[in-house]
Amino acid sequence: MKNISIIGGGPAGLGVAFYSDKNKYSYELFEANEIFGGNCITYKHNEFYFDSGAHRLHDKDTQTTNLFKSLLNKNLKLINIPSQIYRDGKFIDFPISPLNLIKYFGLIKCIREGIKIIFSKNNDGNSFKSLVESKYGKEISKLFLLEYSEKLWGEKAENLSKNIAGKRLKGLNIYTFIIEVFLGKKKKTKHLDGSFLYPKFGIGTLFSALANQLNQENIHKESKVTKIKHHENYIKEIQINGTEIKKIHNLVSSMPLNKMLKILHPSPPNEILNLADKIKFRNVILVVFFLSKDRINKNGSMYFPSKKYPFTRVYEPKNRSKSMSPNNNTSLAVEIPCFYNEEYWNMEEQHLKKSISNYLIDIGLFKKSEIIGSTVKKIHNAYPVLSLNYQENITQINKYLSNFKNLHLTGRNSLFTYSHIHDQMISARKILNDILKDHKK
């Protein structure tokens, strides 16, 4: 029996395995897929590389940054690139800068909108809609934030929690706009920081490097956890691929929370299973075009808030690292958020590629004659849908799960938080600390 058994070999699970290894705790990790990295992987298509979505490593946690710097050395670079929003035939800076808003609306309308916002009641309610409308007014919110979020999360903005904003809107309000208008580039507010760390051959190399640090005998691919058996408030055993049984000392799960509840044996009470049914995840379809041109533009990401387009974000991997495309070529990856029952998820691949390329050609990002190849990838459980009262449901589920004294949850879909790579590493360290403390008791 190992000290720590881990479900999932994405960033969260690999992080726990890494810190277990460092703390000389015996561990064993089970990953359902044939590769490690979860939703943070890099695909290779001929000489092109592209990630499972527009990933970047934010320099937000020194220990995480230092760890990946030490693993990748010169192959992890600080990148500084702009991003833009495309709306009504125009590209404007993202996050929205005041000068670009003036270009978009014209000075008079901008002043009128600004005054409306300053004198509006600060109705900072519970939903994402009320949060952004109180900060930016109805017009700016609708054009740049509400439609976009509804496409991304698949819910009406009034039914979305304000937690979907994450830290993106921090420091971005009408007052910071005004400061920028008057002080211009001398005092750019923090939200305009477009710098991040990025590996030479894509985000997935962070996690292949991390997996390489581990004892390979203890990390298993194609090992899906199919049952979690418990008795008297302890997890006792897990079942792998429907057959093999492993005894458990401590179990760390990073698998989606609803799926984990459903493989508990004996089953949780019906009210907990009903809450599990309310949990939703948004998937993402990635359509990637390989192009016979050197560059499209300089953007890190391009955002498409209008519902006219089925995609939310488009990115050119070469702008993150030159090595992502061969010389004289580039590629463009398009993210289409989807539930399983939606039209695009079920669309035949050729039809999907044609439909998406037509939009991009119309916008002017490339010509039909420049497409030298294309591919489609599907990312399951990309975003936990943080609808208005999700926290109450999650709190009740967590209260039930806290009965199990040797169970720890980590990761985006198990903790059901809009979290990022560095958050997974912080969570891994915390779990190890908790287990160490318990051990000393």
Binding residues for ligand FAD, per CB under 6 A? Answer: 7-13, 30-33, 38-40, 53-56, 58, 224-225, 254-255, 284, 335, 379, 381-382, 411-413, 419-421, 424
Minimum distance from residue 306 beta carbon to ligand FAD (Å): 19
- Among 106, 101, 108, 120, CA closest to 176: 101
Choice between 12 and 334, CB closer to ligand FAD: 12
Token reading at 162: 């304000």
Choice between 278 and 378, CB closer to ligand FAD: 378
Choice between 406 and 413, CB closer to ligand FAD: 413
Choice between 98 and 310, CB closer to ligand FAD: 310
- What letter would DSSP give residue 251? E
Secondary structure of residue 123 in the 3-state scheme: coil
What's the CA gap between 37 and 13, in Å, rounded? 9
Choice between 42 and 254, CB closer to ligand FAD: 254
DSSP string for residues in 87-141 = ETTEEEEESPPHHHHHHHH-HHHHHHHHHHHHHS-----SBHHHHHHHHHHHHHH
Choice between 135 and 318, CB closer to ligand FAD: 318
Minimum distance from residue 192 beta carbon to ligand FAD (Å): 17
Spatial contact of 129 and 112, defined as CB atoms under 8 Å apart: no
Minimum distance from residue 407 beta carbon to ligand FAD (Å): 14
Secondary structure of residue 79 in the 3-state scheme: strand
Q: If you compute the radius of gyration of the chain from its CA atoms, what whole number of angstroms results?
A: 23
Minimum distance from residue 85 beta carbon to ligand FAD (Å): 17
Minimum distance from residue 320 beta carbon to ligand FAD (Å): 10
DSSP string for residues in 367-382 = -GGGEEEEEEEEEEEE
What's the CA gap between 327 and 188, in Å, rounded? 35
Choice between 56 and 353, CB closer to ligand FAD: 56
Minimum distance from residue 238 beta carbon to ligand FAD (Å): 9
Q: Is it true that the peptide bond before 269 is cis, omega within 30 degrees of 0?
A: no
Choice between 30 and 104, CB closer to ligand FAD: 30
41 contact partners, CB below 8 Å, separation of at least 6? 35, 51, 52, 203, 204, 207
Name the amino acid, one letter, at 58.
H
- Among 371, 378, 303, CA closest to 347: 378
β-pairing verdict for 48-51 and 90-94: unpaired
Token reading at 167: 């830290």
What are the strands, taking DSSP E only, across 260-370?
264-265, 281-291, 302-303, 313-315, 330-338
What's the CA gap between 406 and 422, in Å, rounded? 24
Name the residue with the smallest CB distance to ligand FAD: 10
β-pairing verdict for 4-7 and 27-30: parallel
Choice between 54 and 296, CB closer to ligand FAD: 54
Choice between 76 and 174, CB closer to ligand FAD: 76
Name the amino acid, one letter, at 160.
L
Minimum distance from residue 285 beta carbon to ligand FAD (Å): 11
